[in-house]
Structures are given as C-alpha cells and as structure tokens.
Amino acid sequence: MSHEAIRPVDYTNEEGETKTYLIEDVDNNPFRKIIIPPKGEGPRVYREQLTAKIGSKAIDDIFLYRPDPQEVPYESESPIIKMGGLWTIGHHYTKQAIDMAQHGHDFATFIPNFDYPVWRPLLDPKLRKTPYVWHAKNGLHVTRAVLGHTGAAQARVSAHSYGGHTASELLSWQPDLFESAVYEDPSGPTVHELNLKELLENELKPAAQIMNEDDNMLPSNTKLRSIRRITDHGVHAFRELWGLNKIRSEFRVNLKAAREAGVPVGLMTLSRSAIFSASLMRATAEEEGLFDLIDEVDEYHIAPNIRPAAINETERSMFDRLAA
C-alpha cells in the first residue's frame, strides 16, 4: 500500500479526546475504503460508495459502512438504512455508522437528491400536502440499492428527528422490504418544545463541531453537495423547515399502515432532548398505542450524531427485540 493511499483524519471520541483515524484505499478502488480507528478504539470498518437514481438524477453519496468479518462477526443480516434529521444530510451520522459497523451491522447513510421542478407540487396533491414524500422516495431507492449490494432480503430503518416523518412514509409504501424500524427522538408524535439555552449549548454547538469532523472523513466534494442539497432546492428546504411547526396527521396514518403490514416499530426517547419533551412523547405514544416498543436513553437530541455509543447499544437491543 502506497503512502498516497493512506489519509490521516483527526476525530473526537466520546470522552472529548482527539484521535487520528486512517482512511485507506482498497486495491486502489475509489468506491471502497477502510477506516482504521486508533488503537483501542475498536475494529476497522469498510466504507463502500453505492449508486442509485431517482428520476434522472443520482442520489448523492450513498455510503455503506460494513464490519470487517475477519475482526467482528455479523450480528444481523439486515442492513440498517439511516433516515436523518432536518434536510436529511445523512453523512452527519458518520460516527453512528462506524460504531454500528464495529458491532457487526451494515449501516447506510445518504444525501437525498431531488428531480422535480419547483412548480411540481402544484400538480401533485401528495407532494403539495407534505414535503416528506420525496425524501422517502430517495430512501426507497437507497434501500433497494443496499439490498441488491448486500444480498439481504430486508432492511432495518433507523430514523432520527425529522426522519420520523420520512420513515413513516417509506415504511408504508413497500413494507415487505423492511424488517423493523427504530425512531430516535422523532418528529411526528408530538409538537416541538424547544429549550433555547439547552439547544444552543448542548445541541447546536457540539453539532457544528462534529459536522466539520464528518466532512473530513468523506470525499472532498461532499460538503458542497450537502450545501447544494439545500440551496438548489430552496423552496423545498423551506417547506421542510416550515412543516415542522405542527402535528401532521399522515404520520399516524402511515405508521399504522406499516405496523398493520407487519413492520414492528420502536420508539427511543432521549430524556435530555432540547427539541422534544421525552415524557410527553412517551405519554402520547403509550396513550395512542403508536409503537410496538418504547425505550429511553439519557441523552440529548443530537447524540446520534456526536455520541452514538449509548444510542446504538439501545437501538441494537431494540432491533433484536422487535425482530423477536
């Protein structure tokens, strides 16, 4: 392996210590890398870049993080598809993806793309009603690409924050593709209850740091693609943000349809969240019977992005219980 094929990247671990990871080419394949953590930070991980299209446009940067079978056995044959938070910039879950792969799970992240003109919602009642439909369509194509690449029969869905809406749409369309889903502090069950001080200090500031670190782990054009994901579709991006200001009835309708079709769904509340009230979300979910399983983690809303260990441990347990 030549020196040019190895790239060092500084990364912050869960104790706040800066460590150096190595990203290494595999047989000079630009679509396959090895991510090598520092000694003591767990086994290495393969990252494979996949392709899919929605309409005539490519879905950008589909990354499939995979365990090295020589170092860790697979815990599940079902890959996990990440439906991310607001504007669904999937690579901001790089730490979560690496940790999941280190524990024997294939884990896919992606940046969605859009292939419709700004006037399209005027002619499409479904698209006009909700901004989440196109995200879910992206997710469906990504799921098919991942299943085709891995040979798995079904996928699991990990839905964080805004991804609660997109996942509920996705699961209701072709439930036969999905084994189960876990929702992490999702939009959908309750209204937002923002704690502005906590939001700034414990959510937004750490998020800004980790987003920069994640950019360093990925191809050089990924940050530009993330920005263009919003700027090239400003009207749609605004609709996404504006759509979070109220409870949307389609969340419950789609969630019920998926569960009736045989897809078990779990809710993970994050007790320190500055975005949602964990106690209100749990009470609402239990009162309405929205989920098959409810669990709680003592973490902030941004934890899946910056400190995924406790989130992932609970999520793996929830997936296992849902599958059973």
6 pLDDT tier (thresholds 50, 70, 90): confident
The answer as to whether 32 is a domain residue is no
pLDDT beyond 50 at 76:
yes
* Amino acid letter, residue 125: P
- What is the pTM assigned to this prediction? 0.93
The answer as to whether 25 is a domain residue is no
Instruction: Give the per-residue pLDDT at 323.
Output: 93
Q: Which residue, 40, 65, 86, 222, is CA-closest to 150?
A: 65
Q: Three-state SS string across the chain, please?
A: CCHHHEEEEEEECCCCCEEEEEEEEECCEEEEEEEECCCCCCCCEEEEEECCEECCEECEEEEEEEECCCCCCCCCCCCEEEECCHHHCHHHHHHHHHHHHHCCCCEEEEECCCCCCCCHHHHCHHHHHCCCHHHHHHHHHHHHHHHHHHCCCCEEEEEECCHHHHHHHHHHHCHHHEEEEEEECCCCCCCCCCCHHHHHHHHHHHHHHHHHHHHHHCCCCHHHHHHHHHHCCHHHHHHHHHHHHCCCHHHHHHHHHHHHCCCCEEEEEECCCCCCCHHHHHHHHHHHCCCCEEEEECCCCCHHHHCHHHHHHHHHHHHHHHHC
pLDDT beyond 60 at 10:
yes
The answer as to whether 68 is a domain residue is yes
pLDDT beyond 90 at 290:
yes
pLDDT tens per residue across span 28-75: 888 999 999 998 889 999 999 999 998 888 887 899 999 999 999 999
Instruction: Give the per-residue pLDDT at 2.
Output: 39
The answer as to whether 296 is a domain residue is yes
pLDDT beyond 70 at 3:
no
User: What is the number of domains present in the chain?
Assistant: 1
The answer as to whether 3 is a domain residue is no
The answer as to whether 316 is a domain residue is yes
The answer as to whether 90 is a domain residue is yes
Domain range for 140 is 53-323
User: CA 264, CA 258: separation in Å to the nearest integer?
Assistant: 8
- Mean pLDDT score across all residues of the chain: 89
pLDDT tens per residue across span 113-147: 877 777 777 788 877 777 788 889 999 999 999 99
The answer as to whether 20 is a domain residue is no
CATH classification at residue 142: 3.40.50.1820
